[in-house]
Amino acid sequence: MGQVDGKVALVTGGASGIGEACALTLAREGARVVISDIDDARGKALTAKIGGGAIYLNQDVVSEPRWIEVVAEIEKQCGKLDVLVSNAGIGIATPILDMSLEDWQRQQSINLDGVFLSVKHSVPLMRKSGGGSIILMSSVAGLRGAPGLAAYAATKGGVRLFGKSVALELTAEKIRVNTMHPGIIATPIWGKIPTGARGMGHNAPVDPYERAKMAVPLGMAGEAQDIANGVLWLASDASRYVTGMEMVIDGGMMAGNPWRRL
């Protein structure tokens, strides 16, 4: 018997990386998974791989009309919604003096507006379903500062406190809300992060394994499955007494500097 048997779960940005691992894990543990993304080829391939009634929906998470359509389609095809994994997001690594207002607003729109819309439009169906669990994807950058990532950290810090506030608002609805804070996780996003020329030193893709050797106390990068395991627990009834929490999965990064060892 799976840990989320009979539940319906929506994973935004679910076609690759952490989202893909979450979708596969939830499906393996008994959930009917709805994957939304803008990458139709990967999304459709993933639902075909999962089978078992998995659904793919094209979705730009910053479009409110599309959110209304997506939730209506979930209700039509699945009848309910028990789990929301609000995972869609982007990273733009640029020193703040070099960042354009356009890039600032784009990152804010996807990482914050998209999360706001995910909650606003999913909660009514979750309420009708009798409650549920919302997992908002933040980052260790939402817990501490990071040079070159001020704009990204602002969005992820916003997700953290948005999650805590909404958790308090939704207790009467029997809907739990928690935030997930990954550290350095080896996913395709590292090859997609645009970097500014001044102050960053390069525009080449970042190797998460090499970065982890220097920045992570455990000395290694995490894998998407490490985050999916935490999401599974938050989605399941095993975490029924947990809301408003920050789950940090970072190999010890938030514990301190890995080089200050005795």
Report, as residue numbers or ranges, the catalytic residues.
152
Cα–Cα distance, 189 to 207 (Å, whole number) = 11
| CA nearest to 13, candidates 41, 47, 43, 36 | 36
User: Taking a C-beta distance cutoff of 8 angstroms, is the pair 177, 167 a contact?
Assistant: yes
Distance (Å, rounded) from C-alpha 245 to C-alpha 243?
A: 5
Q: How far apart are CA 156 and CA 115, in angstroms?
A: 10
| Neighbouring residues of 76: CB distance < 8 A, sequence distance ≥ 6 | none
**Using the 8-state DSSP alphabet, how is residue 237 labeled?**
G
Residues whose CB is less than 8 angstroms from the CB of residue 62 and which lie 6 or more positions away in sequence, other chains included: 109, 110, 113, 114, 117
At what angle are helices 17-28 and 224-235 packed, to 10 degrees?
50
